[in-house]
Amino acid sequence: MTTTSLHFHQRGMVLILSLIMLVVLTLLAISAIRLSTVNLRAVANSQVRSEAMSAAQRTIDSILSGNFTDNIAGTATPPGSPLIVTEGGKDYKIQVARPCLVSLAPIKNIDLDLAIDEDRRCIDTVSNPYSACAHTVWQLEANASSGWFGANVTITQGTGIKMDNSTATVYANDTSYRCPDL
């Protein structure tokens, strides 16, 4: 075979190899773009979830900063009327469940510290071993959601409160105030 006929047969091969390389490079570029888009979505979803958790926690902190046991039924948001909390420039709907009583433990007079004003008001008669106060543990729950971003986060938090024993007993005896799983 002569050199001229060998060149003639290879001319089309270079074009085909070039096209194959171009297709491979295009596919690599497209997959890199898709991968970066998936990563960007994952980061955005993580940020929205974090903001929803923060909004729910802030709502629970607000409830705990007041004396919610004065109006437990009023603490819950009515169904269909969520609170709107803005976090990170986005609005989150917060639905607060009515706090429920987890446990109640009467406090004995001997366990009180008379140097503390709050404990002094709990002292009961000398003949009664139990004071006028009780340790209570309450469960609070807030659900934060954002329809636009699809976030839906529920925060459940417990808190201990020293309260009047007679009031605590009323809550403990009313099944509507006790946590359902207890």
pLDDT tens per residue, range 102-120: 999 999 988 888 888 888 8
Structure tokens at 129: 């071993």
User: Residue 89: inside a domain, yes or no?
Assistant: yes
Residue 53 in this model has a pLDDT that exceeds 80: yes
pLDDT attached to residue 8:
58
Residue 141 in this model has a pLDDT that exceeds 60: yes
Q: pLDDT of 35-45, one tens digit each?
A: 888 888 888 88
Residue 6 in this model has a pLDDT that exceeds 60: no
Domain that residue 35 falls in: 3-173
User: Residue 132: inside a domain, yes or no?
Assistant: yes
User: Residue 180: inside a domain, yes or no?
Assistant: no
Residue 28: pLDDT band with limits 50, 70, 90: very high
